Amino acid sequence: MLLFRRAGDGLEVLLGHMGGPLWARRDAGAWTVPKGEYEPDEPAWEAARREFREELGLAPPDGTALPLGEVRQAGGKVVTAWAVEGDLDPAAITPGTFAMEWPPRSGRTREFPELDRVAWLGLDRAREVIVKAQVAFLDRLAEHSL
């Protein structure tokens, strides 16, 4: 779910910076729409709302959902997204976590936040840092908002 709001100079979108040590020092290509995987029997829209809650620790906003379609990311993952107008304070977010072995081959498992930070970004800045395939979501949102 891509949350957006209208700002004085255009639209802003809420993106999350991917957590964990693999993304810690990256900016470009390390920001994403809050998203996740779902089972074939779960409606995609319901999964988007569930994942928003899991990744941000906040209830997804109510509002009209604007379908943004699908994109295929470089690793093959297909992402379906909807835009919803709303507002929230990034400081209020309590991200979900995931576990992974770190350092590699150490035998130790550590927990990391799914998203280590969340921010409102103008569309131009968002295009610079979002996962490359997800730029299409920003373009579709901008087209709809003209």
DSSP summary character for residue 92: G
The Cα 2–Cα 138 span in angstroms is: 9
User: pLDDT 10s per residue in the chain (146 long)?
Assistant: 999 999 888 999 999 999 999 999 999 999 999 988 888 899 989 999 999 999 999 999 999 999 999 999 998 888 999 999 999 999 999 999 999 999 999 999 999 999 999 999 999 999 999 999 999 999 999 998 76
